[in-house]
Amino acid sequence: MSNLGTVRPVFRALVCTVVPEAASLDEKGWSDAERLVETALAMRPANLQRRVLLFLRFVEWLPLVRYGRRFTSLDAARRARFLSVLQDHPVQLIRLGFWGVRTLALMGYYGRPEAAKAIGYAADARGWEALG
pLDDT tens track for 14-35:
999 999 999 999 999 999 999 9
For residue 48, what are the CA distances in angstroms to 15, 41, 66, 86, 99?
A: 20, 8, 28, 19, 14
Query: Total structural domains in the chain?
Result: 1
- Separation CA 53–CA 38 (nearest Å): 11
The pLDDT of residue 126 is 83
The pLDDT of residue 47 is 95
**pLDDT band, residue 129 (cuts 50/70/90):** confident
The pLDDT of residue 132 is 67
User: For residues 113 and 60, which has the higher predicted lDDT (pLDDT)?
Assistant: 60
pLDDT in tens, 80-127: 999 999 999 999 999 999 999 999 999 999 999 888 777 777 777 787
Q: Which of 55-64, 65-74, 121-130 has the lowest mean pLDDT?
A: 121-130
Residue 1: is its pLDDT beyond 60?
A: no
- Separation CA 122–CA 130 (nearest Å): 10
Question: What's the domain range around 127?
Answer: 5-131
Whole-model pTM: value is 0.87
